[in-house]
Amino acid sequence: MNTIELRPPYLIFLGSETHPTYTKTGAGLVEWRRELCRGQLSLIDDGVDLGLPRMSVQEAAAAGVRSLVVGAARVGGDIPDEWMDTLEQAASLGMDIVAGLHVSLAATPRLREAAQRSGARLLDVRKCPAGLPVGSGRKRSGKRVLMVGTDCAVGKKYTALALERDMHRRGLNADFRASGQTGIMIAGCGLPLDAVVSDFLSGAAELLSPANSDDHWDVIEGQGSMFHPGYAAVSLGLLLGSQPDAFVVCHEAGRERISGWDDFPLPTIEQVIERTVALGSLTNPAIACVGVSINSSSLGADERDSYLAELSRRLGLPCVDPLRGGTDALIERLLQTPAASCTDIHSPGGRQS
């Protein structure tokens, strides 16, 4: 897998984004690695605010910032012309530029030349290793739980990170497996599956979650949604290659249409469960849903409790907001799956890959 080393502290660059959906890389770093984030830089006054001090490139350099992390991403993953002056200035001042875009930073002459002059590094997180295999479909040892979504940016990464954290608190043998650029920045390793040539998607997912000890759980970050008109392909490749024993459906309360594709209504959670089981059973016939993770940030506390209770009653599954109530209910259900009952899940251990 890709392993990267970022040099903190970070300046989170948000471009001109006004919609949180397109700044989830920056938001993820602030949520899970806030101690490493020194400030934020937006090109507009009314852009997304991550709650960090606002800094210019010069102020960040004076404050000892060592890396400018591109925390925004447009559809298509390119570098807008309006970003170039800021990125070049940061590189000229010796800051590493870190990005998970589809285009290479080093392939941009202005950035490459500025970095060469200052000694800064240009780190492309969305870079796949050579020699990825075609998926084999063969069963691997160890156990896996995958996050699947009703849409993009509904909490799949946050749910996986919270689940790993809570499993560790209970002494369980588990590791977060990052499948996207933000997760890789947080974890320091992983595979950017949306940058993999389609023939090798399921093979890359097999590498992301390799054979492991029988008591070990891989907690796998999901990508996209199998109901997404643009990104369903990566979701399916990840599902088939990861061969999950269990999955958690992730959803944002109140969202009704695919974000950015407003002509497409959001699927129901029941539809997501049905499709995931139908397709995932190709490589793991024992696949089962163990619960639902809800991003309830748009709801008040009382409304959230009622929402989760009604959803749980309707589905017959535990339903939680992992950032507001933890994931213990999901873990309890996970421990009841056939995959968990066949081995001693409480054995100590760590990463085996």
pLDDT value at residue 196 = 93
pLDDT value at residue 117 = 96
Q: Count other Cβ atoms within 10 Å, centred on residue 346.
A: 11
Domains of the chain by range and CATH?
Answer: 2-124 (3.40.50.720), 143-341 (3.40.50.300)
- Token pair in block for residue 75: 């559809």
pLDDT value at residue 75 = 63
What is the separation of C-alpha 221 from the centre of its chain, rounded to a whole number of angstroms? Answer: 5
Three-state DSSP class for residue 145 = strand
**Sheet strand arrangement including 10-13:** 37-41, 10-13, 67-70, 96-99, 122-124
**Nearest-angstrom CA–CA distance, 224 and 206:** 18
Note whether 328 and 163 are within 8 A (CB).
no
- Token pair in block for residue 171: 């002494």
**Nearest-angstrom CA–CA distance, 164 and 222:** 14
Helix (H) or strand (E) holding 339: helix 338-341
- Whole-structure pTM value: 0.84
pLDDT value at residue 158 = 94
Note whether 148 and 225 are within 8 A (CB).
yes
For 40-70, how does the pLDDT look when each residue is reduced to its tens digit (9 = 90+)?
A: 999 999 999 999 999 999 999 999 999 999 9
Nearest residue to 38 via CA among 63, 70, 1? 63
pLDDT value at residue 298 = 92
Amino acid at residue number 52 = L
pLDDT value at residue 352 = 41
Low-confidence ranges of the chain (pLDDT < 50): 344-353
For helices 84-92 and 109-118, the axis angle rounded to 10 degrees is 20
